[in-house]
Structure 1
Amino acid sequence: MDLKYEFYINGTREQVWDALVSPEGTKALLFGSVLESTFEVGAPFAYVGSGNDGDRTVHVYGTVLEYEPNVKFSVIEHPGPSYQERHEELESRMTFTLETVGSTTKLTLVNDQWTENHPSRERTESSWWMIMSNLKTYVETGKTMDFGW
């Protein structure tokens, strides 16, 4: 089953995009991780930060499918090696799309094409609500939410 989320954020597409891909934005929103990639179609990407394997733990990695700044970012992703033994076999697609609606930005996230019986699927469903709520708060206030993680 596909996961789909839509948020309206009181900020420009550039501000939302920056939160999604810049080192400052991803560190604030994604557990201190930085998104590393050349962002070319077909290039690898990884969210890297502190974790099970020290300061350079790969939390999620994969391949860039689409990258159009301030509009769309789509990847095939795998869980980091320290999280799942079969990480290379487990995948899903994540697609972030930004649209201007009045003076706001509509962010649509679709997380689909899950490997059958993917062990992270259920946890991801609830985590995205928190991460996207945090992104909305971050863009609108410059602060993140404290979920006690």
Structure 2
Amino acid sequence: MELKYEFYIGASPEKVWDVLVSPEGTRHTFFGCVIKSTFKEGDRFEYVGPGGDGDETVHVYGHILSFAPHEQFSYVEHPGPSYHANHEELESRVTFTLEKAGECTKLTLVNDGWSEGHPSFENAKSHWWMILSNIKTYAETGKTLNMGW
């Protein structure tokens, strides 16, 4: 199973990268979450934000596979502990790739390597569209889409 999305964004790769990894960028585009990590290969990361466990709910966690600023960011993720009792068994891989395309940035997202029967697969199909649309809008305008979050 693989989810793949390609977006063209009217902003530089540096600007899009900042939206993907900075606390301000992720807070505005990833459902109010901040990514916490050293961003070194093999190190842990967490998307933390408001949720069922309070303001510090861990929504997604895992480890960094690759981190090449302005080019590629890849990680293995698991749903947060409050979502599924077997969260450690459930995983997928997420890879963001940035390429300069004229005055724009081509952002490609591939979400693959899903554990068999992963319960988050169906939600991910629609959530990635919302997140990527927000990344595009925020990188281009500095504003986010009001999706009722």
* Letter aligned with residue 90 of structure 1: L
Distance 1:101 1:30 in 2: 24
Q: Which residue of 2 aligns with 1:4?
A: 4
What residue identity is the alignment partner of 2:80? G
Equivalence for 1:97:
97
- Cα deviation for residue 25 of structure 1 reads 0.2
Correspondence for 2:127? 127
TM-score normalised by length of structure 1:
0.98
Q: Which residue is 2:44 aligned to? A: 44
Query: Is the partner of 2:146 in helix, strand or coil?
Result: coil
Gapped regions of structure 1 (runs ≥ 5): none
Structure 2 equivalent of residue 108 of structure 1:
108
Moved over 6 A (4+): none
Which secondary structure state, in structure 2, belongs to the residue aligned with residue 88 of structure 1?
A: helix
Q: Which runs of 5+ in 2 are unaligned?
A: none
The SS at the match of 1:137 is: helix
AA aligned to 2:136 is K
Within 2, Cα distance between the matches of 1:126 and 1:18? Answer: 23
For 2:104, give the aligned amino acid: T
How many equivalent residue pairs? 149
Residue 82 of structure 1 corresponds to: 82
Residue deviations 1:86-135, cap 9 Å, x none? 10000000000000010100000000000001000011011101110111
Distance in 1 (CA, whole Å) between partners of 2:148 and 2:57 is 21
Distance 1:126 1:55 in 2: 24
Give the equivalent residue in structure 1 for 2:137. 137
1:9-88 equivalences in 2 (<5 Å)? 9-88=9-88
Please tell me the residue identity of whatever aligns with 1:43: D
Give RMSD over aligned pairs.
0.6
Give me the TM-score of the superposition, normalised by structure 2: 0.98
